């Protein structure tokens, strides 16, 4: 019996989902070079009410999958405790409650060891894995640093590197001199609002390089905020990361170099038109179209998951609505919401599932917000998508 059969949603969620998928069907047939059809019923991959290890075991990032050398599957949709799901296949995934990878919640912003969310898994060979994580230093959590204000006050974010292995799944931050992949252009101060890089996509390989996309709140050109492209040579996936800036790849910002030198400052090229205004969540290669595809969510006149395609990771098509739903952020209503989209083809030959063929699954976090005071009840669900 699959997780979908064991974890049938309660009636109120089924009713909402039926309405949601009516909208999916209408939006997925956009007049574009790539068309999609989304299945009319979700499968529940992880149920908060039935499977949680503790109250903080929630899907709080896009789902990432990795195939071990023995063929078994691990998946993470990280919260800051970074627990994994694992199973012999995608239909037998369940939480590993013994595994915890989390930051020390250091009050020192230069340590880059507060809280982190693992959002990309990169094979290094021999069962070793590097992970990229969205690191968050939020000053109001630390006594005497900041007074609590409206989010994102005193929010200092960065991309950091970790290392672990595919068997025990316990990831640790890289040594301080290799830890920071991309930070802010300025050092932390209590008056800061939102600064730095966050929310990385999965990493993909193309030719001699690996790539990911990350959102910045202050380093993109033009306008400060946007998605930026990073790459590293296959020969140096730990220390070789650079970002696209003015058409060439340069070292990313590092406000606190480990050698004590002056901060490294740089701006990056914002990907896509201004309409690509959401945080990039998922990056895949459409095999049948020979195109890269980037997926994100946005709240606008039409809200939901959007996508754009590219032949080279630099030049992107206009955004097109993939699936219409209501994200939770920016709403004061109660109900059922969806966010953190991720595209995964279970039959992909790639161990990091960077390719999709004629079909894939759209993984989403479902927020069961039926009460203003209850915000932890979240499930991980997936919808089958056909590439037409």
Residue spans of the domains in the chain: they are: 3-387
* Whole-number pLDDT of residue 149: 74
Q: Residue 153's pLDDT is what?
A: 85
Look at residues 198, 212, 242 and name the one whose alpha carbon lies nearest to residue 313. 212
pLDDT at 330: 78
Class level of CATH domain 3-387: mainly beta
pLDDT score, position 17: 45
Residue 265, pLDDT score? 96
pLDDT of residue 370: 84
Radius of gyration of the chain (CA): 20
Render 108-155 in DSSP notation, one character per residue.
-GGG--SEEEEEEEEEEETTEEEEEEEEEEEGGGSTTT----STTTTE
Q: What is the pLDDT of residue 33?
A: 63
**In 3-state terms, what secondary structure has residue 366?**
strand
**Structure token digits, residue 162:** 């970790």
The two tokens of residue 288 are 């049948």
Within 8 A by CB and 6+ apart from 193, the residues are: 152, 153, 154, 155
Low-confidence stretches of the chain (pLDDT beneath 50): 1-32
Return d(Cα 366, Cα 274) in angstroms, integer: 28
What is the DSSP secondary-structure string of 240-307? --EEEETTEEEPPPBSS-TTS-PPB---EEPPS-TT--S-EEEEEEETTTTEEEEEEEE-SSS-EEEE
pLDDT number for residue 281: 98
In the block, residue with structure tokens 């020192």: 108
Query: How many angstroms separate the CA atoms of 337 and 327, rounded?
Result: 5
pLDDT at 264: 95
Q: Tell me the two tokens of residue 376.
A: 């932890």
């Amino acid at each position: 019996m699959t997780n979908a059969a064991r974890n049938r949603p309660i009636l109120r969620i089924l009713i909402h989902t039926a309405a949601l998928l009516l909208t999916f069907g209408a939006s997925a047939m956009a007049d574009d070079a790539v068309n999609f059809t989304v299945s009319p019923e979700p499968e529940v991959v992880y149920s908060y009410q039935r499977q949680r290890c503790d109250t903080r075991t929630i899907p709080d990032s896009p789902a990432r999958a990795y195939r071990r050398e023995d063929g078994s599957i691990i998946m993470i949709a990280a919260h800051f405790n970074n627990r994994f799901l694992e199973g012999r296949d995608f239909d037998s995934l369940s939480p590993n409650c013994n595994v915890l990878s989390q930051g020390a919640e250091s009050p020192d912003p230069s340590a880059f060891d507060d809280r982190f969310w693992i959002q990309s898994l990169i094979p290094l060979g021999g069962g070793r894995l590097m992970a990229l994580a969205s690191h968050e230093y939020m000053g109001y959590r630390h006594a005497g640093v900041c007074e609590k204000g409206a989010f994102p006050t005193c929010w200092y974010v960065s991309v950091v590197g970790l290392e672990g292995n595919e068997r025990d799944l316990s990831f640790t931050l890289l040594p301080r001199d290799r830890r920071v992949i991309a930070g802010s252009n300025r050092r932390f101060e209590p008056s800061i609002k939102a600064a730095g890089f966050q929310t990385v996509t999965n990493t993909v390989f193309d030719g001699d390089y690996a790539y990911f996309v990350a959102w910045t709140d202050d380093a993109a050109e033009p306008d400060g905020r946007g998605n930026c492209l990073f790459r590293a040579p296959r020969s140096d996936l730990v220390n070789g990361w650079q970002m696209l800036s003015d058409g060439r790849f340069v070292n990313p910002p590092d406000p606190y170099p480990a050698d004590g030198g002056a901060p490294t400052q740089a701006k990056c090229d914002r990907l896509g038109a201004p309409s690509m205004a959401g945080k990039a969540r998922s990056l895949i290669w459409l095999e049948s179209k020979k195109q890269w595809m980037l997926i994100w969510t946005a709240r606008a006149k039409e809200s939901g998951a959007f996508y754009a395609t590219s032949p080279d990771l630099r030049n992107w098509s206009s955004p097109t609505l993939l699936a219409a739903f209501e994200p939770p952020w920016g709403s004061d209503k109660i109900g059922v919401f969806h966010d953190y989209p991720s595209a995964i083809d279970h039959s992909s030959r790639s161990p990091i599932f960077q390719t999709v063929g004629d079909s894939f699954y759209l993984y989403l976090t479902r927020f069961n917000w039926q009460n203003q005071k209850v915000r932890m009840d979240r499930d991980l669900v997936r919808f089958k998508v056909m590439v037409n």
